[in-house]
Amino acid sequence: MICRYCGTDIADKALICYKCGNATTEARIVPPSRSHKKRRQVTVVVVVAIIVLLLLLAWRLGFVR
Ligand SMILES: [Zn+2]
C-alpha cells in the first residue's frame, strides 16, 4: 500500500509507515467521535471553572473590601 501521509510505498501489513511514522489504518484505536466527546467534556470543565472564578471574584468585590 501507499502511505497517505507521505506517499511512500510500504508493506500491506504494515501498521505504521516506516518513513513518516504515521499509522496506515484509519483511527480505529481512538474513534473520532470519542475524542470529540472527551474534548467537549474538557471545554465544559474549563467553562465551569471560569464561571466559578468570576462568581468568586464578584462575591469578593461585593462583600469584602
Ligand atoms: Zn508515510
The model's pLDDT over 40-50, given as tens digits with 9 standing for 90+, comes to 889 999 999 99
Quick check: 58 pLDDT over 80? yes
Distance (Å) of CA 24 to CA 8, 34, 49: 11, 20, 39
How far apart are the CA of 55 and the centre of ligand 1, in A?
Answer: 50
Distance (Å) of CA 48 to CA 12, 34, 56: 47, 21, 12
pLDDT, greater one: 52 or 13: 52
Name the average pLDDT for the chain.
84
Q: Which residues contact 25 (CB under 8 A, 6 or more apart)?
A: 15
User: What is residue 65's DSSP assignment?
Assistant: -
Quick check: 27 pLDDT over 80? no
How far apart are the CA of 28 and the centre of ligand 1, in A?
Answer: 18
Quick check: 9 pLDDT over 90? yes
How many residues belong to the chain?
Answer: 65
How far apart are the CA of 40 and the centre of ligand 1, in A?
Answer: 30
